[in-house]
Amino acid sequence: MTGPLRLLRFNAVASMGMAVQLAVVGILTSGLGADATMASAAGVIAAVAHNFAWHVRWTWRDRLGPGTRLAATFSRFAGANGAVSLLGTIALMPVLTGVAHLPPITANIVSIGICGVLNFVLADRLASR
């Protein structure tokens, strides 16, 4: 598969994952009154699980042959994408919501944008080799 096609698929999955993350954040903060940083962390975890499921079946399907250990693949994916997204979001949310006074959903959109490029590079180089 060509690089541009893989990037297109990666971004399609990322867009769906973003919707998952924002839905979780919205439900937890607006519906249940949860802290924005903790709700965002839960949203990231939900999005990472969602994105992994799509990436192994679609984005990097050609790299996963018979005998692929999905648990090991998930560990690499979560260790790369999950760590960047989770740590980045936890670090950014107090600044974006507390200092910049952005609403939690808007702050998550900014955080997703900041972490997105690095996540693609890490996933392409480490998690799906």
pLDDT tens-digit series, residues 23-45: 999 999 999 999 999 999 999 99
- The mean per-residue pLDDT over the stretch 47-55 comes to 94
pTM above 0.95, yes or no: no
Q: Residue with structure tokens 């903060």?
A: 29
Count of all residues that appear for the chain in the document: 129
Tens-digit pLDDT profile for residues 60-106: 888 877 878 888 889 988 887 788 899 999 999 999 999 999 999 99
Residue 119 · residue 80 · CB < 8 Å: yes
Task: Indicate the pLDDT class of residue 128, thresholds 50, 70 and 90.
Answer: low
What pLDDT does residue 129 have? 54
Which pLDDT score is estimated for 97?
Answer: 97
Helix axes 36-54, 83-93, angle to 10 degrees: 160
The answer to whether the beta carbons of residues 14 and 97 sit under 8 Å apart is no
DSSP conformation class of 100: S
CA-nearest of 107, 53, 112 to 78 is 53
